[in-house]
Structure 1
Amino acid sequence: MPATPQGWVSDFAGIMSNETKAQISDLCTSIEKATGAEIAVVTVPSLEGMVVEEYAVKLFKEWGIGKKGKDNGVLFLIAPNERKTRIEVGYGLEPVITDGRAGDIIRETVLPFFRAGDYDQGILQGSMRIAALISGKDFVPSVPIPSSEPQTDAAPWPVKVGMILFFALFITLGFLALGSSLRRKGQSFFRIWGAGFGGIPLVMSIVFALMMGFPVYILPAWALFMLVIGMRYGKKFARSGLFSGGSFSAGGRTYSSSGSSSGGFSGGSSFGGFSGGSSGGGGASGSW
């Protein structure tokens, strides 16, 4: 881990042009003069076996980024060889650069450039957006941000259908049991069991459908249908012994109705070191 910074910008990985480093240094100087906040932009050749979050916290503490007592520092860390980046925020700036906003900067501004192989613009535009949040100004990128790479469909249709059928099995058993128990007295166990056995997979299936672009309404409609079937034919189920008092077997387990179951910074354009600030542990990370 580098013992001392090279300036506002410390390009230990050697991935930035001199022009970009000068632009970011001027930006950091102007932010420090206007607000007192200190921004450190750092690239490293290796995270030395640490996860990016751990490395960022240790480097932030080692260098003392931000004013002591105000903790108004920000570390923008890039590890190109591990393809990791992190925005680490001092306590004093956490209300301004929230975890969500830091994540937006990485996802929307930094990573598109990194994926396009343009480290200079990714770091520059990311630094500009950090500075805009600190100064309370709107961020306007100085160059167009590359469009995100099209995401491939990680789950083919057979997998999606298989998952839907898997959830449907639990929903069917759970809501049949729930519907059957609602029409009969003394079936509180099956009411609770049915609501949980069918309800939890139902919620999971909705989340799955939203993530995978599958129609959301299919399994909720199926659950309602099974509930009605259970209520309508509950007595027949009871006579057949499917959902009756005593015990019920599913998945190799037996359930009973009893409920049991088996440095200081000097003003001006020159960099004189950071001022002893602390990290609040907030921020966001990304990879490409």
Structure 2
Amino acid sequence: MDRKKTYKAIVIIVVVTIVIAVALFYFYLRDDNDKYEGIPTLEPYINDKVGVLQESDYNDLQDFCTYIEYNNSCEIALLIVDNTGSYDLNTFAIRTFEKNGIGQEGKDNGVLVVFLVPEVGDIRWRTVTGDGVSDILSGFVLKGFENEYLIPAMEQGDLSWGITLYIYAIGLELDEKYISEGNDPWEEYPIWFIPLNGWQLAIFVVVFILLTIVTKGRVLLLIPYLFTRGGGRGGFGGGGTGGGGSRGRF
């Protein structure tokens, strides 16, 4: 077999391998995709889909939740929506918590706070806690935070400030009572400035080599964009086991 035929055979093998891997991955996740249809993918840590939060409150909460994770590894996420699609609020919140893997893997120390703020009707909320922090953030404790911080601010017409105080109360409780080393989300990556774990990086390298061959090196022009760390991390830590917490309406 001459060199040209060998080259074509290698390319075909690589392409077939990638196609098979993608197909297996698709069939493996198909059931989960059905379960989580219509459930959003969150960015760490604050996700305001309605525009409820004041800009200063949004920035403060983003910085505060970052501090909490770096200090003791707990992950707090906030989601504000105006509808939950075909789900009731409780199911929507729990599946969002599970899908996004909020909390560290093996610790399940995540918290998700979902506010449903429709154009017409009552404001409702659901706080979901991971198994690893459910004793610290019991329903009784969370109700106390709601009555002390959230509801009084809402009664004064300042939902943004009420949500901010509520998240701060949750975070400070975890900061005081949850004992764990901090977590730098970028430490889990083999190459710190590329947000890919081991197997993702291996697939990326194979595909990138193939594209380099096919495009005769032109894909190399994308390197400055691919290796930019950017302004934030890519996702949560892989926890997401839980269901305790609190709920309310106003």
When normalised by structure 2's length, the TM-score is 0.60
Match of 2:158 in 1: 118
Within the alignment, does 1:277 sit opposite 2:250 as a pair? no
Does residue 72 of structure 2 align to residue 35 of structure 1? yes
Which of 42, 60, 64 is the matching residue for 1:23?
A: 60
Distance 1:102 1:271 in 2: 28
**1:11-50 CA deviation, whole Å, 9 max, x = no partner?**
0121112211110010001100110000001101102243
- Which residue number corresponds to residue 138 of structure 2? 98
Task: Give 3-state SS (helix, strand or coil) of 1:266's partner.
Answer: helix
Query: Is the 8 Å Cα contact of residues 103 and 238 (structure 2) preserved in structure 1?
Result: yes
Give, as a single letter, the amino acid of the residue that structure 2 aligns with 1:86.
Answer: R
Unaligned runs of at least 5 residues, structure 2: 1-37, 178-183, 188-228
The whole-number CA distance in structure 2 between the counterparts of 1:25 and 1:286 is 23
8 Å contact 1:57–1:279 — kept in the other structure? no
Kept in 2, the 8 Å contact 1:52–1:285? The answer is: no
Instruction: Tell me the secondary structure at the aligned position of residue 136 of structure 1.
Output: helix
**Retained in 2: the 8 A contact 1:266–1:272?**
no
Provide the rounded CA distance (Å) in 2 between the counterparts of 1:123 and 1:40.
12
The corresponding residue for 1:87 is 127
Q: What corresponds to 1:55 in structure 2?
A: 92
Alignment partner, residue 4 of structure 1: 41
1:148-167 equivalences under 5 Å are none
**Alignment deviations for residues 157-199 of structure 1 (CA, whole Å, 9 cap, x no partner):** xxxxxxxxxxxxxxxxxxxxxxxxxxxxxxxxxxxxxxxxxxx
Residues in 1 aligned to 2:235 and 2:55: alpha-carbon distance in whole angstroms = 20
Question: Aligned partners of 1:60, 1:79: CA distance in 2, in Å?
Answer: 15
Counterpart Cα distance in 2 of 1:115 and 1:85: 15
CA distance in 2, matches of 1:121, 1:52: 22
Q: 1:172-183 residue pairs with structure 2 within 5 A?
A: none
**CA distance in 1 between partners of 2:155 and 2:43 (Å):** 26
Distance in 2, matches of 1:271 and 1:114, equals 32
Cα separation, partners in 2 of 1:2 and 1:15, compared to 1, 3 Å: farther
| 8 Å Cα contact 1:90-1:279 kept in structure 2 | yes
Matched residues, percent identical? Answer: 28
Matched-pair contact (CA < 8 Å) for 2:77–2:102:
yes
| CA displacement 1:60-112 (0-9 Å, x = unmatched) | 01111001111000001111115101111001001211111112122221122
**Hey, what's the Cα distance between the residues in 1 that align with 2:247 and 2:241?**
15
**Structure 1 spans left out of the alignment, 5+ residues:** 138-263
| Count of aligned residue pairs for this structure pair | 162
Q: Contact conserved, 2:111 with 2:127, CA < 8 A, in 1?
A: yes
Deviates most, 265-274 or 76-85: 265-274
**Aligned equivalent of 1:250:** none
Residue aligned with 1:88, SS: strand
Moved over 4 A (4+): none
* Equivalent residue, structure 2, for 1:130: 170
Supply the distance in 2 between the matched residues of 1:271 and 1:108 (Cα, whole angstroms).
33
- Are 2:41 and 2:96, in contact at CA under 8 Å, matched by a contact in 1? no
Q: Is residue 2:228 matched to residue 1:266? A: no
**What TM-score, normalized to structure 1?**
0.52
Taking structure 1 as reference, are residues 281 and 110 closer, same or farther at Cα in structure 2, changes over 3 Å only?
same
Structure 2 residue aligned with 1:194:
none
